């Protein structure tokens, strides 16, 4: 798992392979001298997230019994105040959707699979 941090929690070890995969997905080039520090930083971040998960409720807590009911609006899609301007500035649209170039290599997008 890893060595304890200052609070005594176990710090997960992030392997070089995991860091390399994360860097590739993020499109980052990490200098070799930064790898040990980043592995430690990511391990401490993961330990912190694990600690929060242990104390945070898994689901939204129930409202207090004396809470006033809320009037909720209907969930209806609507154009934002700048919707038309955004669409007119978009390089390409497909219907109401923006067309963006892929960021993952074909292998990661599932292309070429049977």
Confidence of residue 29 (pLDDT cuts 50, 70, 90): very high
CA–CA dist 70, 68 (Å, integer): 6
- Please spell the DSSP secondary structure of 30-89, one letter per residue: --GGGHHHHHHHHHHHHHHHHHHHHHS-SSPPPPPTTPPPPP---------TTHHHHHHH
* The token pair that represents 86 in the structure block: 């955004």
Cα separation of 38 and 44, whole Å? 10
Alpha-carbon distance of 97 to 87, in angstroms, equals 9
Q: How many CB atoms neighbour CB 11 within 10 A? A: 21
**pTM of the entire predicted model:** 0.45
Q: Quick check: 12 pLDDT over 80?
A: yes
Residue 1 has pLDDT above 50, yes or no: no
């Amino acid at each position: 798992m890893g060595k304890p941090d200052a609070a005594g929690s176990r710090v997960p070890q992030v392997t070089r392979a995991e860091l390399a995969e994360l860097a590739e997905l993020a499109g980052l080039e990490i200098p070799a001298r930064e790898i040990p520090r980043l592995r430690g930083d990511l391990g401490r971040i993961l330990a912190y997230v694990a600690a929060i998960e242990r104390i945070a409720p898994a689901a939204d807590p129930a409202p207090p019994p004396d809470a006033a009911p809320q009037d909720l609006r209907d969930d209806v899609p609507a154009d934002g105040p700048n919707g038309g301007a955004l669409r007119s500035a978009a390089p390409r649209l497909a219907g109401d959707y923006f067309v963006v170039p892929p960021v993952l290599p074909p292998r990661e997008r599932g292309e070429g699979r049977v």
